[in-house]
Chains A and B, each alone.
Chain A
Amino acid sequence: HGPGVTPRLSVPPRYRRERALALRSSSSALYNNLAVLCPPARPPRAFGAVHGTTLSLLGPEGPPRQLPARGGCSALSTPLLTQAAWCELPARVLLVLTSQRGVQMYEADGSTLVFWHALDILEHPAAHSVFARGISAAGERFICVGTSSGAVLVFDIPPKGTNVTLSEVLEQHRDPITDIAAEQGQAPEGAGDLVTADDSGTLCLWSTGEEFTLLGKIPGSGCTCSSVALWNGIVAAGYGNGQIRLWEAGTGQLRAQVSAHARWIYALDLAPLTGKLLSGAEDSFVHVWKLSRDPDTDDVEIQHCHTECVTDTQVCGARFCDPAGDTFAVTGYDLSEILCYGPA
């Protein structure tokens, strides 16, 4: 290839389908509908996928389990879950579930309920749907959860025990929160270590601590940002129009735009050791990309590495299963399996 010509490379497959893990029930069409716990020291891992009112759990030992949403009673129907994620803090790992009623936090194996926070339903007019959605560990001792009003709840997590407290409520978003992500690498000066995203595509950058500080806001253009990741000061965001955009966290500048998918993106995940980015969408495709930064120009680079097509399936969850991104797992709507992929 000559200089100045950007070659359309035919890349040999980097991954192949390894196995499928059977779930007790199929996965629901929800953003980021796959939770993976990957302790660095040992496989096998734990997986979780939401089906309606329950979370299907596949742990390292024992049969698959189901965790129900809380907040149902004889007068009210069991609430629907919206998301589940493991939050890894230095002192402990908690499994967090969000639903139409509130936030449930369990010990990592799902055995014990540690904390329950009920959303204030009365505050919302009847026409608006009420739910919690968007989960992330933040700043070494917090867990952040988004809500349909746009508020982000910041919970202070003690190293052990059940004394979780609501430390702060961040009110910068006007639309329902879709996803929250913490910095997985090294944040450059002033770039912040947490990003929150909402239905309108607005992104907020925060610095975490006793008090969270808003560092910057990237206004949305009406196109939903359904999934977001933060790595070395780069925000990777997936949108309803199938685009992936990379933003400079410190300045809010757009650095890359990818026409990645033909339908709504449902999941993004990032492998912090290598900068690999995984995207899954309703168009049945899963793509693996590679993020990097040119050390001379400071330009952000994104290259396409690999494609998988999950035939006749709308992908709703996609996560790397190791920090280098050599393996990943995928869920789809109506699919009663977790599909696992490994090195080719």
Chain B
Amino acid sequence: MSARTLPLLFLNLGGEMLYILDQRLRAQSIPGEKARKDEWTDVDRKRVMNDIIGTMFNRKFMEELFKPQELYSKKALRTVYERLAHASIMRLNQASMDKLYDLMTMAFKYQVLLCPRPRDILLVTFNHLDAIKDFIYESPGILNQVDETFRQLIETYNCLSDGEFQLIRQTLLVFFQDMHIRVSIFLKDKVQNSNGRFVLPISGPVPWGTEVPGLIRIFNHKGVEVKRTEFTTAGNYVTPQREGSFELYGDRVLKLGTNMYSVSRPVETHMAGSSKNLASHAKENTVPNPLAKEELNFLARLLGGLDIQKPAGGETGFRLNLFTSDEEEEHAAQTRPEDLSYKVINIEATQEPGRRAELSRILGELEVAEPRPGSAGKGEDLLALMDGL
């Protein structure tokens, strides 16, 4: 509903993606001198982070992102992240990409739900950006790009009212509705129940600007307070100490959106699957998607703005595994529940030819140098191109 939701969604999901990739790259890296040709080193990791962040924050892409527009489906957005994740020498199999996207979305859903005020979603975004700046502090060019985006966020969002932020939050919650994938790190920290639902605490500091519940004040017809009473409830709230900073630099106070992963806390997901009652949910993936045209337009615009640097000739990609072993990754690919698969958008036969050609060209430009099985020709089958992403 809010036409200003996409930048916040994209940047926060992107931030979570970078936390996860950074953690997995560190977990799988080998000290430089000892590494074989096909193993990760610290230098590789920094290069991957630089490449992805540099691509994410390029000006043309950010321009497209910040245009007022509706949110599109999880499927459409995933395509953009898959592109981004492959902006460097790193490669991800489908199973790892699925898991990455699951983790990203569940993490941000958690942050949106637990934000004390809708406006605090901006502080969560700033937390992500602060961390991103830390990843690339050695690259002044990219740092500048990130600061530019930071300034654009401040300019666009700092002046919005609480009501407008709540509308953004409600729009985000529609996007995340019915997702209950269990994330191991959330289960361990007891912020998620075994049924996949997040724990909503009824204690702690109240949001900035809210009073601790309990007081009733009565005024007479002249506006003079004449009585005070109190009521008690099960909650155990306290007044907050201070408000987080909405400036370019500052203490955000809020911990949501900071990096919760570390090498010692690996990431896993369990496919919880959706409940049997939600018959409409399974239907979504089997019926041809009539929104394809609009979503393709969105993708064409956004991907057109992504300036992906192709890896130098002769260099092959390094595969990153989001699981702890190749066998686990293979097993996950085979056992992913039907209703949780990110199926490719089915494109109607009556698709407007001009648009198809344009997207085909853009996707073609972004293509990695890998033989694509069974592809008859570029313009011919857009579906095959998207399948191969």
Contacts and interface: CB of A to CB of B under 8 A. Distances in A.
Interface of A: 6, 8, 10, 22-26, 28-30, 51-52, 66, 74-78, 80, 82, 100, 126-129, 131, 175-176, 178, 198-200, 222-224, 226, 240-243, 248, 251, 253-264, 283-285, 287, 297-304, 307, 309, 311-314, 333-334, 336
B223 A299 contact: no
Interface in B188-227: 193, 197-200, 202, 206-207, 209-221, 223, 226-227
A304 B70 contact: no
Contacts of A304: 216, 231
A283 B219 CA distance: 27
B213 A299 contact: no
Given A28-B174, A259-B211, A309 B291 contact: no
A259 B214 contact: yes
B210 A263 contact: yes
B210 A262 contact: yes
10 contacts: A24-B277, A51-B177, A66-B280, A178-B163, A255-B219, A261-B213, A285-B233, A303-B229, A311-B200, A314-B200
Contacts of A80: 1, 174
Contacts of B212: 259, 262
A301 B200 contact: no
B162 A223 contact: yes
Q: Decide if the interface of chain A is mainly helix, strand, loop or mixed.
A: loop
A100 B1 contact: yes
Contacts of A301: 218
Nearest to B118: A264
A248 B221 contact: yes
A24 B280 CA distance: 8
Interface string B211-251: 11111111111010011111111110100000000000000
B376 interface: no
A224 B2 CA distance: 16
B216 A256 contact: yes
A6 B279 CA distance: 53
Nearest to A281: B213
A24 B232 CA distance: 36
User: Interface centre among B70, B167, B214, by most A CB within 10 Å?
Assistant: B167
Contacts of A176: 163, 167
B259 interface: no
B interface secondary structure, majority: loop
Contacts of A199: 161-164
Given A222-B162, A299-B218, A302-B218, 15 more contacts: A75-B294, A77-B72, A178-B163, A199-B162, A222-B161, A224-B161, A224-B163, A257-B216, A262-B202, A262-B212, A285-B233, A299-B221, A302-B216, A303-B216, A312-B200
Contact of B219 (A23, A253, A287): A253
Given A199-B161, A285-B235, A243 B211 contact: yes
Contacts of A74: 290, 293
Interface of B: 1-4, 68, 70, 72, 113, 116-118, 161-164, 166-167, 169-170, 173-174, 177-178, 180, 193, 197-200, 202, 206-207, 209-221, 223, 226-235, 237, 275, 277-281, 290-291, 293-294
A6 B294 contact: no
Contact of B294 (A77, A256, A257): A77
A101 B173 CA distance: 20
B229 to A, nearest CB: 5
Nearest to B178: A26
Given A8-B230, A29-B170, A242 B211 contact: yes
Contacts of A127: 3-4, 68
A71 B296 CA distance: 20
Contacts of A175: 161, 163
A129 to B, nearest CB: 5
A297 B275 CA distance: 55
A200 B166 CA distance: 12
A312 B198 contact: yes
A200 B161 contact: yes
Given A24-B280, A297-B220, A241 B3 contact: no
Contact of B293 (A22, A75, A200, A258): A75
Nearest to A78: B291
Contacts of B221: 248, 251, 253, 255, 298-299
| Interchain residue pairs A-B with the least CB separation, the first 6 | A199-B163, A304-B231, A259-B211, A29-B173, A224-B163, A127-B68
Contacts of A309: 202, 233-235
A285 B202 contact: yes
Nearest to A198: B163
A219 to B, nearest CB: 14
B199 A77 contact: no
Contacts of B235: 262, 283, 285, 309
A78 B216 CA distance: 44
A284 B200 contact: yes
A258 B215 contact: yes
A28 B3 contact: no
Given A262-B206, A309-B202, A224 B1 contact: no
